[in-house]
Structure formats: structure tokens, C-alpha cells
């Protein structure tokens, strides 16, 4: 069985490269900085180490047939020593912008003595994750150059091409410019996510100096911040190109940005919050006071258990499910007309709450009025009422 070393295996592309290689029956070894947090499949052999440490790379590369290389720095400083420790066959995750003098161009140059393949993607669709916080917490996304147009590529398409290159000798000495199937402006990308997520968002242009400062505040290198802003400004008039390389290599079209948005939609949605016991109790009491039984039932689990004494002999019966409970209630109250319900509560403690009801009713045949008082002790689990224990009693006369 062949063994392939994967660097950046815990990253957004690397995880799919690992999956693709395992699916092809390849034995995977990963160079990771923190094995305890790697969260990779059990059959992946983990070698602890930093990619900037040639000694760690040498240990990781010992005996492997090929390596997937990701160089996670903005400069090629130290890369020559690392490249020397790699096996002969290397597939390098480069960039469409691998011009000489860029980190990607410099690393490519260092790899020229190997059996190399350069996979050069356009902008990663997964960069759009940077807007997820804006989607979850507000209605506005602010970006520099909203009309900058990129042919964003899905991380699974990048990985698919990398895996093919790692598995086939005929890819040696080839560079692949890979992109998504269309170029979209940043405004269009945000609109696409908004449509998929079902939350309209406003796009606002961020002045370049504000964008620059925001990047510096996040610790970006000043030169890189400047070049990134200039790059996006240039993309307004000169969109990233669109290639058909993914389809030619994999046999199926590159995934559109809409697919990426669908795959990542949960990250852009506010996670539903589970209401607290106090909230459930308040809503339940409000609904009962207002005579809105449907609303009260909506707060109750369909599998709710109700424990109540039998009217006749005080023996307790346990009913399960709202249907059985409502049927029983209809039977017990068939001879009664309710004139008034007085609800007191709730009294909340941990995941329980108590309510006191005083029912004023009369028998339509005899006209005899009566009062019934009951205490309900409810249990709330995961935002729903899951148990109701009922106690009937006659309050002492004042």
C-alpha cells in the first residue's frame, strides 16, 4: 500500500485531501502541530511537528511515496531546507497568483528539482466564512471593493484535483490553474449566501483605509494588507479568470458558489436557542391565562408524561402523549361547563415550575356550581414540558 504525507491535513482543503486519499486506499500520514486536537480519522498516522522544522519534516517524510505540500506562510523563508526533506514526488497547493516573487512562485521554484505538480487555485470560496459573524449577528456586511469579482473555488474541488495529481504519475511536471465555474462580485457572493440562508443582508463598501486598519488590527503584515487591498481593487475591472480545468481533470463541473453556500449555510445562521425553564413557564402560563390552548400545547413535548390521581379512588395514573392526555381530560370534564379559570404562577425552581389553577365550573343539568383546585408541577427538558404531576386539593376556607 502506498503512503502519502499530507501537510495542512487539519485545514479546510487538507481534510478533504485526507478523505480522498483514504477513499482511494492510500495510507495517510499527517504532519500536525497538535495531535490531540487534529481530529483526523483513526487510521491516519500522526507525526507531531512544525512544518518550519526540517527535522520534523524529515521524520514525517521517512519512507513515504509522495507528499501533499501546503506552505502556510506569507514568505518562502526557510522553505528550501524543508523542501530538501520532502520525497521526490510532491503536489504543491500553490495559487493562481504564483508570480515570481510571491510566496507561491518562490516555493514552486524551490520544488523544480522534484517530480512536482502545482495546483493553482483561484480565491477559495471558503474565505467567505469571514462574513459568517456578520450574518449571525447583524444585517450588514462591510467589504472593501464590493464589485471585485472572483472565480471562487470550492475546497472539495481543490482537494479532488490534488488527490488525482497525487495518484497519477502523468501529472508530474504539470501546473493546473483551477477555478470555480463563474466569477462573482463580492456583492453577488453575499447575495448568494443571503438567498441560501434566507436572511437578506445589506452590502456596504468599506473605505480602503478602514479595511487596511482592520487588517492591521488583526495582526496582518502591513505590506500584505496593502497588496491585498490593491488586489481586490484591481479585481473590479479585471475579474479573476474562469477555467474548465476542474471539469477536464475530474470529469464533472466545478461546484458553483451556490453549492458552497448550501454546504456551509449552518455557519451563517444564528443557532436556535433553547428557551430556559423560566421562559417556557412564563409563555405556558400566559397562554393558559389567555385561553390559548394551542400555544400551551406547542410548549409541551408530544411525548409528555402526565401523572394524576384518578378522580374516584385517588390512585395515580400515568398517561403518555398529548393525545391520550386530551382524551382523558375530555372524558373527565364531559359533564362540566367552565365559567372561569384562575391561574397563579409560575414558581420556577431549576428545571421545574409549579402552577396553581382554580377552576370555577357548573353542571349544565343541575346548575350546581363548584370549584376545583389543582397544582401542576411541570418538568422542562430542552425547552419543552416533558412531565406534569398533578395534585388536586381543597383549599382551606379563609
Q: How far is the CB of 346 from ligand NAP (least distance, A)?
A: 48
Total interface residues for ligand NAP by CB under 6 A = 23
Q: How far is the CB of 155 from ligand NAP (least distance, A)?
A: 7
Q: How far is the CB of 201 from ligand NAP (least distance, A)?
A: 21
Cβ(194)–Cβ(258) under 8 Å? no
Q: How far is the CB of 209 from ligand NAP (least distance, A)?
A: 23
Q: How far is the CB of 300 from ligand NAP (least distance, A)?
A: 44
DSSP 253: P
Q: Which stretch binds ligand NAP (CB under 6 A): 48-56, 80-88, 237-245, 306-314?
A: 48-56
**Cβ neighbourhood burial of 398 (10 Å; 0-12, 13-18, 19+):** exposed
Based on the shown chain and the rule CB under 6 A, indicate whether residue 245 belongs to the binding site for ligand NAP. no
Q: How far is the CB of 107 from ligand NAP (least distance, A)?
A: 9
Q: How far is the CB of 74 from ligand NAP (least distance, A)?
A: 8
Helix axes 155-167, 14-23, angle to 10 degrees: 50
Residues 6+ apart with CB under 8 A from 156: 16, 255
Provide the pairing of β-strand 115-121 with 45-48.
unpaired
Based on the shown chain and the rule CB under 6 A, indicate whether residue 8 belongs to the binding site for ligand NAP. yes
Q: Please select the residue that binds ligand NAP; options are 18, 26, 51, 201, rule is CB under 6 A.
A: 51
Based on the shown chain and the rule CB under 6 A, indicate whether residue 228 belongs to the binding site for ligand NAP. no
> Binding mask 9-38 vs ligand NAP (x if CB under 6 A, - otherwise)?
xxxxxx----------------xxxx----
Residues 6+ apart with CB under 8 A from 260: 125, 126, 128, 152, 154
User: Closest by alpha carbon to 333, among 356, 364, 304?
Assistant: 364
DSSP 146: T
Separation CA 66–CA 2 (nearest Å): 9
> Binding mask 186-225 vs ligand NAP (x if CB under 6 A, - otherwise)?
----------------------------------------
Q: Tell me whether the omega of the peptide bond preceding residue 101 falls within 30 degrees of 0, making it cis.
A: no
Q: Please select the residue that binds ligand NAP; options are 28, 46, 64, 71, rule is CB under 6 A.
A: 71
How many Å is the maximal CA-CA distance in the chain?
103
CA angle 177, 180, 181 (to 5 degrees): 110
User: In the window 112-171, what residues touch ligand NAP (CB under 6 A)?
Assistant: 121, 123-124, 127
Based on the shown chain and the rule CB under 6 A, indicate whether residue 95 belongs to the binding site for ligand NAP. yes
Q: Which residues bind ligand NAP (CB under 6 A)?
A: 8-14, 31-34, 50-52, 70-72, 93, 95, 121, 123-124, 127
Amino acid at each position: 500500500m502506498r503512503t502519502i504525507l499530507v501537510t495542512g491535513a487539519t485545514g479546510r482543503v487538507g481534510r478533504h485531501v485526507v478523505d480522498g486519499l483514504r477513499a482511494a486506499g492510500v495510507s495517510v500520514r499527517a504532519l500536525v502541530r497538535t495531535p490531540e486536537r487534529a481530529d483526523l480519522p483513526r487510521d491516519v498516522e500522526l507525526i507531531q511537528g512544525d512544518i518550519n522544522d526540517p527535522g520534523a519534516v524529515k521524520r514525517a517524510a521517512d519512507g513515504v511515496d509522495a507528499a501533499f505540500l501546503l506552505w502556510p506562510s506569507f514568505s518562502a523563508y526557510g522553505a528550501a531546507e524543508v523542501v530538501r526533506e520532502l520525497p521526490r514526488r510532491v503536489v504543491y497547493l500553490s495559487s493562481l497568483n504564483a508570480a515570481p516573487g510571491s510566496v507561491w512562485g518562490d516555493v514552486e521554484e524551490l520544488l523544480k528539482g522534484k517530480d512536482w505538480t502545482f495546483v493553482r487555485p483561484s480565491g477559495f470560496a471558503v474565505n467567505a466564512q469571514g462574513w459568517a459573524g456578520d450574518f449571525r449577528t447583524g444585517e450588514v456586511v462591510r467589504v472593501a471593493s464590493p464589485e471585485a469579482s472572483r472565480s471562487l473555488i470550492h475546497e472539495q474541488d481543490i482537494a479532488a484535483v490534488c488527490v488525482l495529481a497525487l495518484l497519477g504519475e502523468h501529472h508530474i511536471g504539470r501546473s493546473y490553474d483551477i477555478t470555480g465555474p463563474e466569477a462573482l462580485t463580492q456583492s453577488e457572493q453575499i447575495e448568494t449566501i443571503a438567498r441560501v440562508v434566507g436572511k437578506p443582508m445589506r452590502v456596504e463598501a468599506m473605505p480602503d483605509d478602514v479595511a487596511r486598519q482592520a487588517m492591521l488590527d488583526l495582526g496582518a503584515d502591513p505590506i500584505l494588507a496593502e497588496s491585498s487591498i490593491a488586489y481586490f481593487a484591481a479585481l473590479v475591472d479585471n475579474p479573476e479568470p474562469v477555467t474548465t480545468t476542474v471539469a477536464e481533470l475530474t470529469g464533472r463541473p466545478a461546484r458553483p458558489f451556490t453549492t458552497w453556500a448550501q454546504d456551509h449555510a449552518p455557519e451563517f445562521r444564528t443557532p436556535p436557542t433553547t428557551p430556559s425553564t423560566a421562559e417556557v413557564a412564563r409563555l405556558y402560563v400566559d397562554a393558559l391565562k389567555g385561553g390559548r390552548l394551542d400555544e400551551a400545547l406547542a410548549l409541551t413535548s408530544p411525548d409528555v408524561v402526565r401523572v394524576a390521581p384518578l378522580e374516584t379512588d385517588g390512585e395515580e395514573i400515568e398517561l403518555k402523549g398529548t393525545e391520550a392526555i386530551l382524551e382523558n381530560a375530555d372524558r373527565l370534564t364531559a359533564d362540566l361547563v367552565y365559567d372561569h379559570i384562575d391561574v397563579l404562577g409560575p414558581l420556577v425552581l431549576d428545571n421545574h415550575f409549579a402552577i396553581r389553577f382554580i377552576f370555577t365550573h357548573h353542571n349544565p343539568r343541575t346548575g350546581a356550581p363548584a370549584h376545583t383546585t389543582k397544582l401542576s408541577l411541570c418538568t422542562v427538558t430542552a425547552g419543552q414540558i416533558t412531565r406534569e404531576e398533578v395534585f388536586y386539593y381543597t383549599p382551606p376556607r379563609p
